[in-house]
Amino acid sequence: MSVMVITGGTAGAGKATALRFARAGYHVALIARDETGLQETRQACERFGIKTLAISADVVDAGA
């Protein structure tokens, strides 16, 4: 099984990328600061029958 890890997956290009890979059958790990957006993108990806992992984190802040 292939897994795609996407940062900033709650809007724009990140969300579009997540959905594109989910549609292609990849499992998706989403990392972003927006918890609400994470859950929305997670649910949208799971509609394609794949597994997702949503992690709320700031990838720019090493202390986050």
> Is there a domain that residue 45 lies in?
yes
Q: What is the pTM of this model?
A: 0.88
pLDDT one-digit tens code per residue, 13-24:
999 999 999 999
For residue 59, the model assigns a pLDDT of 85
> Is there a domain that residue 39 lies in?
yes
Question: What's 9's DSSP letter?
Answer: T
> Is there a domain that residue 61 lies in?
no
> Is there a domain that residue 63 lies in?
no
Checking if the pLDDT of 64 tops 70, the result is no
How many whole angstroms separate alpha carbon 22 and alpha carbon 60? Answer: 25
Number of domains in the chain: 1
Query: 62 CB contacts (<8 Å, ≥6 apart)?
Result: none
Residue type, 3: V
CATH number of domain containing 25: 3.40.50.720
> Is there a domain that residue 9 lies in?
yes
Q: Cβ–Cβ contacts within 10 Å for residue 14, how many?
A: 18
Which residues form the domain of 42?
A: 3-56
> Is there a domain that residue 62 lies in?
no
Counting beta carbons within 10 angstroms of the beta carbon of residue 39, is it exposed (0 to 12), middle (13 to 18) or buried (19 or more)?
Answer: middle
